[in-house]
Structure 1
């Protein structure tokens, strides 16, 4: 049985929980929305789902209705301790299919078995991009996922090269996965009600570009290219290559126009540029 608005408030009161903007705590209280999110994620009976920030358990219960196992990572001890009890009370047959890890998701590098095959999460604005990139880097067993983030962040994650919202998050995520906007969620299904809509972004893992460059170096190039996004690449990357002239020569060797800007390049282009970085850098 999924959580409703009254139960959400009762659970929060029992924990003396006052949702804070700092932690981005907005809890989904609409069962229909939860089931829509679970359906959009495409998870099935064989999946092991990693959920980040389960909060009071709205989405957790929805995931347990479908998935083989759900592992959650929750930074707040009180919420992590309460969640198994909530599941046992409302879905006792699923209690043994839940693993709770009380930790900061950005510091979790390993999880108990079974290993996750998918990530599904309602992520707060301030950590959404770092958490997604960390999960995709650390857990290569995750082949797909669905994240709910602030609508503006959803647009950035799914943006293609050349679009107005394309930037560092889009380019780095493209190293790991294809990202697609697959829906929006109104503020009214959350408590407290946020000031913005949320977006659903579907992730499908793919192989990184075929390159000799290390991911770290590719990401360094991406950061530099967008640090001053209106600069031409020969200027934006001058610090990495020693001078504007050296950057221009490296870009030409990589098959990239030195007068282009980072916003028009795909992750494979950034990888070719990273292959030209001086070894002593």
Structure 2
């Protein structure tokens, strides 16, 4: 029999979320991608899937009214919440003080655009967030670039975006997000979240993507140089790499020379290449230029 001490702590429900929104005069907007989670069991599922360590600081982006924040505070050492909406950012500490008075000192709220933030009051080890659909991929890539302390995480995004982030070479949905994410980490699909656990309910399901940081490929090329190859290869994804990389290399023959030097078939398409292949192509160009 489970004792009361072992019972899960209360989380925000639908009535609580609507009460807070009404208090603040907030109507969720598509512009900011605001869909608030109103189901406590979903929050517990996300926190469990994120495998947060009790000694870790977690970075949460877009905490909104605090549904996920409370669950993360229960599991982590501390939470740094980055919120772009001033009203939401101002209310969050009070919500935590009301629902988790013993953990109020474990929260830092940063009023900022997650696409622009480059410093935080604490170094986060994990990223756990319900990300706005329209900026999910840029936010993930930006945070992985600027916060090397992030070792793992779990993000909730539009389901088809989750598929793209987790896709491997050869997949129909493999593309720029898949390859750039692979520069920083290994990503996998960790589940699907239905529409009825949100307010307002989105018109599409959400997907959970888990990631684990890894070292980028060993290459003489910089990240920016490798990403330039990726962008060029997928700008015309149905073309062969020889044709797709012609402008990037200066000409189709120059592109073929780079590809052959990198050990890549010039008639292949970008969708079959792994991040290591793109790194070799970028490095090959540098070597060929140095030899001139």
TM-score grouping bracket, smaller chain normalisation: over 0.9
The answer to whether residue 136 in structure 2 is matched with residue 128 in structure 1 is yes
Residues 240 and 277, structure 1, Cα contact 8 Å, conserved in 2: no
Which residue is 1:170 aligned to? 178
Partners of 1:74 and 1:125 in 2: how far apart? 15
Which residue is 1:105 aligned to? 114
Partners of 1:242 and 1:219 in 2: how far apart? 17
The counterpart of 2:78, out of the listed 66, 69, 75, is 69
Residues 117 and 144, structure 1, Cα contact 8 Å, conserved in 2: yes
Q: Give the structure-1-normalised TM-score.
A: 0.98
Report the Cα offset of residue 262 of structure 1.
0.2
Partners of 2:74 and 2:53 in 1: how far apart? 10
Which residue is 1:186 aligned to? 194
Q: CA RMSD in A?
A: 0.9
Match of 1:55, SS state, is: coil
Report the Cα offset of residue 22 of structure 1.
1.3
Alignment of 1:7-156 (within 5 A): 7-113=16-122, 115-156=123-164
Match of 2:209, SS state, is: strand
Report the Cα offset of residue 241 of structure 1.
1.0
Report the Cα offset of residue 101 of structure 1.
0.1
The answer to whether residue 13 in structure 2 is matched with residue 4 in structure 1 is yes
Report the Cα offset of residue 277 of structure 1.
2.8
Partners of 1:107 and 1:257 in 2: how far apart? 38
Structure 1 unaligned blocks of 5 or more: none
Kindly provide the CA deviation profile for residues 53-100 of structure 1, in whole angstroms up to 9, marking residues without a partner as x. Answer: 000000000000110000000000000000000000011001000000
Aligned residue pairs, count: 279
Partners of 2:95 and 2:276 in 1: how far apart? 46
Kindly provide the CA deviation profile for residues 123-173 of structure 1, in whole angstroms up to 9, marking residues without a partner as x. Answer: 111100000001100110110000000000000000000000000000000
Partners of 1:50 and 1:277 in 2: how far apart? 38
Which residue is 2:6 aligned to? none
Match of 1:202, SS state, is: strand
Moved over 3 A (4+): none
